[in-house]
Amino acid sequence: MRLSKSQFIRGLQCPKSLWLYKYKPELRQEPDESLQAIFESGKEVGELAQKLFPNGVTISYDPTKLYENAKKTTALIKSGIETIYEATFLYDDVLVMVDILHKGVNGWELYEVKSSTKENEVYLNDIAIQYFVVNGSGLQLANAFLIYINNQYVRHGDLDIQSLFTISPQTPIAIQKQESIVIELQRLKEVVKNDSSEPGRDIGLYCYNPYECDFKTYCWKDIPSESVFSLYFMGKQKMFDFYKRGIISFKQIKSEVELTAIQEMQVESALSGKVFINKEGISEFLSSITEPIGYLDFETFYSPIPHFNNQKPYQQIPFQYSLHVQKEDDLHHYEFLAQHGKDPRKEFIENLINNANDAKTVLVYNISFERRILNELIQSHPEYEQEINLIIGKLVDLLVVFKRGYYYSRKMNGSFSIKKVLPALVHGFAYDDLEISDGGMAMNAYKGLENISNISDIVKVGNNLLEYCKLDTLAMVKIHETLKQSTT
Binding residues for DNA, rule: CB under 7 A, are: 34, 38, 115-118, 151, 231-238, 260, 262, 297-302, 304, 314, 316, 365-369, 371-372, 375, 399-400, 403-404, 414-420, 438-440, 442-443, 472
Residue closer to DNA (CB basis): 275 or 367? 367
Least Å from the CB of residue 335 to DNA: 14
Angle at 454 between CA 448 and CA 457, to 5 degrees: 65
Beta pairing partners, 149: 165
Which is closer to DNA, CB of 316 or CB of 380? 316
CB of 412 to DNA, least distance (A): 8
d(CA 385, CA 375): 9
CB of 401 to DNA, least distance (A): 12
Least distance CB 215 / DNA (angstroms): 19
DSSP 361: E
Nearest to DNA of 53, 402 (CB atom): 402
- Whose Cβ is closer to DNA: residue 66's or residue 161's? 161
- Least Cβ distance, residue 238 to DNA (angstroms): 5
**Best CA proximity match to 375, nearest among 351, 354, 355, 349:** 349
CB of 86 to DNA, least distance (A): 21
Is the torsion defined by CA of 48, 52, 57, 60 positive or negative? negative
324 in helix, strand or coil?
Answer: strand
268 vs 22, 251, 258, 370, 390, CA distance in Å?
43, 9, 13, 34, 42
Nearer Cβ to DNA, position 189 or 404? Answer: 404
Minimum Å distance from CB 142 to DNA? 28
Positive or negative CA dihedral for 337, 438, 417, 328?
A: positive
Residue number, 93 or 241, with CB nearest to DNA? 241
Which residue's CB is nearer to DNA, number 143 or number 361?
361
Residues in contact with 361: Cβ distance below 8 Å, sequence separation at least 6, in sequence order: 288, 289, 290, 291, 293, 294, 394, 396
Decide the pairing of beta strands 330-337 and 317-327: antiparallel
